[in-house]
């Protein structure tokens, strides 16, 4: 699936570009109404509507967020729900206070560091490991939502739960993205019959337009309405949950459910270009890693380099490698192991680390640094091991109310449809969050009873002149960090209005040399970056799904921005609405007569740029020289005119530049190796 802008959004972005009026608050569109009475930016229209109606009834942002989360459980059941966990960042205007309600899942009492290893001591393959009851963490979302309401809301659970009961009872039409996700997870849903009966009835996956009706889930939500969270943590829902987890291989007990604790946390904060980034602390690696990336990028003139230019992306990829290396080594649940939260984002440390970004070449030798040298160490931490997860599940939404309170909430059941295990009779999907622990014991992120697995979720709020103006976040496992940092860079460094900042194509690279990318990054840029040693994936993909709210505190207007890889929806109490449409799939590129690989990596030349003539392979001159980092002057005499364009013979040019050249006749591929 490719990220392809809808025409309407392109037009809006172009209008914004055509009107260079610069708002003082970044991210604010040059034109557009803006709301004053409250706004929501959510990945599903039905859940957005629930949030809007709560704001219209006089609820605050916390009330709306609670309603949206419960509705998402019903309408986007593969991404989040009360069988999972999440991080709700809250900004309370009247107290000028930030807080985070951490409802991340906890490992049960009988979880063990080696529980994801087979008899030979090898990690059990992910597909098997994450669909076993052992992967299910003690869920926190319901208690998190309830805690947020009780402490910071104006309504209680029974006041905000009815629309979700109705959506579960009467049904919601399956949209294009839900149908795609059901299709991708049929094997998992059918592995445990209960979920299969709901989403793949009679063996046929629900498709776009079908009605998703969930009477069991409606029953569970009604029980919660009547009896509160006890119905879940101490009552019949919990008993059925625990029974099913044990039946599928897990150890969770009622005692684990009763001992679940919501934690309220102080966000981490860091300065970037005079703005303050307020973000998610451990057990998430998200906030510290985003702040590291931004601070590393602060050393470059990104505006001059330009958004998605060669120079900018080179520095960005390198900054990501440095930050992700530290993430892998130092970040886990710091209620168990100390994380150098100050050292990691200390200016002197960042300045040292930035020196490892070489202007001309990808640095193949990036390793974690020593942030403890910039902070007093509280206790020794063993070396954590890292395990990449590149999923795009989970969900993020942002809300602002008329009083100026802001919510940035990322919430998950981990993989798509979590573990695939549904609580029989109560219709809720259970997470597989414990697979976010390292499968191999010995590190700070190993499984331990009562511990929260390391997360990447990064709900963030950005401040200008001590006033919050942007709430932003994304799903996407470890790619969340890339999506959030690039959206912030697009807004602050590249002056993009929020909607354009979200739809601008992103890249992801957590270590040397592989880079994944979204459609829209220029081919010349990719070729030049490959010449520097970065390896771009052959085809683009999707990275994250950002939902954000921007507040122009100078005019009192609020704006939303949503992604088009789901049915992103902005609704405002003032009546404004915006909705992304299903992206048109990018046309399949014709590979042409041959393929060029350098060190085993396919270069992205189009069919028109490649010609075979009399047994000699030619590539369009400027493109070949860009990809192989050759100067035009040296090859002036080798060029031949084909279809009115200069082309160069690949073998001759490559050999002159010092590559060894071979021809794979079976694959019709020219292979270049650096000698
Ligand atoms: N479990 C992941 C985390 O907490 C989120 C999953 C995803 O976004 O795909 O970081």
HEC letters along 619-665: EEHHHHHHHHCCCCHHHHHHCEEECCEEEEEHHHHHHHCCEEEEEEC
Rounded Cα distance between 617 and 632, Å, is 18
3-state helix, strand, coil in the chain (%, to 5): 35, 20, 45
Tokens of 50: 């629930």
- HEC string of 557-622 equals EEEEEECCCCCCEEEECCCCEEECCCCCCCCCCCCCCCEEEECCEECCCCHHHEEEECCEEEEEHH
Taking the centre of ligand 1 as the mean of its atom positions, its distance from the CA of residue 344, in whole angstroms, is 22
Predicted structure pTM score: 0.94
Q: CB of 393 closer than 6 A to ligand 1?
A: yes
Q: CB of 434 closer than 6 A to ligand 1?
A: no
Q: CB of 102 closer than 6 A to ligand 1?
A: no
pLDDT of residue 501: 98
Taking the centre of ligand 1 as the mean of its atom positions, its distance from the CA of residue 457, in whole angstroms, is 6
pLDDT of residue 3: 46
**Residue 104 among known ligand-binding residues:** yes
Taking the centre of ligand 1 as the mean of its atom positions, its distance from the CA of residue 60, in whole angstroms, is 27
Q: CB of 475 closer than 6 A to ligand 1?
A: yes
pLDDT of residue 392: 65
Higher pLDDT, 210 or 10: 210
Q: Is there a contact between 239 and 257 (Cβ–Cβ < 8 Å)?
A: no
pLDDT of residue 636: 87
Q: Is there a contact between 670 and 650 (Cβ–Cβ < 8 Å)?
A: yes
Nearest CA to ligand 1 atom 1: 414
Nearest CA to ligand 1 atom 5: 477
Which of 388, 413, 434, 477 should be mutated for ligand 1, with most atoms under 8 A from CB?
477
Rounded Cα distance between 474 and 283, Å, is 17
Q: pLDDT of 419-441, one tens digit each? A: 999 999 999 999 999 999 999 99
Q: Which of the four pLDDT bands, split at 50, 70 and 90, describes residue 418? A: very high
Residues labelled as active-site residues: 394
Rounded Cα distance between 23 and 41, Å, is 21
Taking the centre of ligand 1 as the mean of its atom positions, its distance from the CA of residue 4, in whole angstroms, is 24
For residue 53, give the H/E element and its range: helix 45-56
> Among residues 44, 31, 151, which one has the least CA distance to residue 100?
151
Taking the CA of residue 479 as reference, the ligand 1 atom at the shortest distance is 8
CA atoms within 13 A on the CB side of 26: 22
Taking the centre of ligand 1 as the mean of its atom positions, its distance from the CA of residue 576, in whole angstroms, is 31
**Residue 660 among known ligand-binding residues:** no
Nearest CA to ligand 1 atom 7: 477
**Residue 436 among known ligand-binding residues:** yes
Tokens of 333: 């649940």
Q: At what angle do helices 45-56 and 162-170 cross, to 10 degrees?
A: 150
Q: CB of 298 closer than 6 A to ligand 1?
A: no
pLDDT of residue 584: 82
Nearest CA to ligand 1 atom 4: 455
Which of 100, 104, 475 should be mutated for ligand 1, with most atoms under 8 A from CB?
475
386 φ, ψ to 5°?
-115, 155
Residue ranges of domains in the chain: 7-264+389-506+543-578, 595-674
Q: Is there a contact between 574 and 42 (Cβ–Cβ < 8 Å)?
A: no
pLDDT of residue 579: 92
pLDDT of residue 385: 53
Assign residue 130 a region (left: φ > 0; alpha: ψ between -120 and 50; beta: otherwise).
alpha
**Residue 456 among known ligand-binding residues:** yes
273 φ, ψ to 5°?
50, 35
* Beta bridge partners of residue 462, listed in sequence order: 277, 470
DSSP code at position 132? S
pLDDT of residue 393: 83
Q: CB of 395 closer than 6 A to ligand 1?
A: no
How far, in Å, are 8, 35, 199, 504, 575 from residue 578 at the CA level? 10, 12, 29, 17, 10
**Residue 443 among known ligand-binding residues:** no
Q: CB of 286 closer than 6 A to ligand 1?
A: no
pLDDT of residue 583: 82
Q: Is there a contact between 540 and 46 (Cβ–Cβ < 8 Å)?
A: no
Q: CB of 473 closer than 6 A to ligand 1?
A: no
Q: CB of 544 closer than 6 A to ligand 1?
A: no
Taking the centre of ligand 1 as the mean of its atom positions, its distance from the CA of residue 482, in whole angstroms, is 13
Taking the centre of ligand 1 as the mean of its atom positions, its distance from the CA of residue 81, in whole angstroms, is 13
Domain covering 7-264+389-506+543-578 in this structure, CATH number: 3.60.20.40
Q: Which of the four pLDDT bands, split at 50, 70 and 90, describes residue 32? A: confident
Q: CB of 436 closer than 6 A to ligand 1?
A: yes
> Among residues 3, 85, 182, 177, which one has the least CA distance to residue 434?
85
Q: pLDDT of 491-541, one tens digit each? A: 999 999 999 999 999 999 999 999 999 999 999 999 999 999 999 998 899
């Amino acid at each position: 699936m490719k990220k392809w802008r809808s025409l309407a959004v392109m037009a809006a972005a172009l209008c914004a570009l055509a009107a260079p009026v610069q708002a003082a608050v970044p991210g604010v569109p040059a034109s557009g109404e803006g709301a004053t009475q409250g706004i929501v930016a959510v990945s599903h229209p039905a859940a957005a509507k629930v949030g809007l109606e709560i704001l219209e009834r006089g609820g605050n942002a916390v009330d709306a967020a609670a309603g949206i989360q419960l509705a998402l459980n019903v309408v986007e059941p593969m991404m989040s729900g009360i069988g999972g966990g999440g991080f709700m960042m809250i900004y309370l205007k009247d107290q000028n206070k930030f807080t985070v309600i951490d409802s991340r899942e906890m490992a049960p009492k009988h979880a063990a560091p080696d529980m994801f290893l087979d008899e030979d001591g090898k990690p059990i393959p992910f597909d098997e490991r994450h669909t076993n009851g052992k992967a299910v963490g003690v869920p926190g979302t319901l208690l998190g939502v309830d805690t947020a309401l009780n402490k910071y809301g104006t309504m209680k659970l029974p006041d905000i739960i009815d629309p979700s009961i109705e959506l579960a009872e009467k049904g919601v039409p399956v949209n294009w993205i839900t149908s795609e996700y059901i299709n991708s997870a049929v094997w998992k849903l059918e592995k445990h019959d209960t979920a299969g009966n709901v989403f793949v009835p009679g063996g046929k996956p629900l498709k776009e337009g079908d009605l998703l009706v969930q009477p069991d889930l409606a029953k569970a939500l009604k029980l919660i309405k009547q009896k509160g969270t006890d119905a879940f943590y101490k009552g019949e829902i919990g008993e059925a949950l625990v029974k099913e987890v044990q039946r599928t291989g897990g150890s969770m007990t009622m005692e684990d459910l009763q001992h679940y604790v919501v934690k309220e946390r102080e966000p981490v904060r860091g300065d970037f270009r005079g703005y303050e980034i307020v973000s998610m602390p451990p057990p998430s690696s998200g906030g510290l890693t985003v702040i590291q990336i931004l601070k590393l990028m602060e050393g470059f003139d990104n505006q001059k380099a330009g958004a998605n230019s060669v120079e900018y992306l080179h520095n960005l990829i390198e900054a990501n490698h440095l930050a992700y290396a530290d993430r892998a080594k130092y970040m886990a649940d710091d209620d168990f192991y100390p994380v150098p939260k100050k050292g990691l984002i200390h200016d002197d440390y960042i300045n040292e680390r930035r020196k490892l970004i070489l202007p001309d070449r990808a640095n193949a030798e990036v390793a974690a640094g020593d942030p403890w040298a910039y902070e007093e160490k509280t206790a020794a931490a063993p070396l954590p091991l890292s395990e990449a997860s590149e999923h795009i599940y989970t969900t993020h939404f942002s809300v602002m109310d008329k009083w100026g309170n802001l919510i940035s909430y990322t919430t998950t059941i981990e993989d798509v449809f979590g573990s695939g295990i549904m609580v029989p009779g109560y219709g809720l999907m259970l997470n597989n969050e414990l697979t976010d622990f390292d499968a191999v014991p010995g590190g700070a992120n190993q499984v331990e009873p009562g511990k929260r697995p390391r997360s990447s979720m990064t709900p963030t709020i950005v401040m200008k002149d001590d006033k919050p103006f942007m709430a932003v976040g994304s799903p996407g496992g470890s790619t969340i960090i890339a999506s959030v940092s690039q959206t912030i860079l697009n807004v602050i460094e590249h002056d993009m209005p929020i909607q354009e900042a979200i739809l601008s194509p992103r890249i992801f690279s957590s270590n040397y040399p592989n880079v994944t990318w979204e459609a829209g990054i220029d081919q010349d840029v990719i070729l030049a970056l490959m010449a520097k040693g970065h390896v771009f994936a052959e085809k683009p993909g999707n990275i994250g799904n950002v939902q954000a709210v921007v507040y122009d505190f100078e005019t009192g207007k609020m704006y939303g921005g949503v992604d088009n890889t789901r049915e992103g929806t902005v609704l405002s109490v003032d009546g404004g609405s915006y909705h992304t449409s299903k992206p048109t799939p990018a046309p399949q590129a014709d590979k042409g007569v041959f393929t060029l690989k350098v060190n085993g990596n396919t270069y992205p030349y189009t069919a028109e740029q490649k010609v075979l003539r009399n047994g000699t392979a030619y590539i369009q001159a400027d493109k070949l020289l860009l990809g192989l980092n050759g100067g035009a002057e040296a090859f002036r005499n080798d060029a031949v005119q084909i279809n009115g364009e200069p082309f160069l013979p690949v073998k001759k040019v490559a050999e002159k530049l010092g590559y060894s050249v071979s021809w794979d006749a079976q694959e019709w591929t020219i292979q270049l190796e650096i000698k």
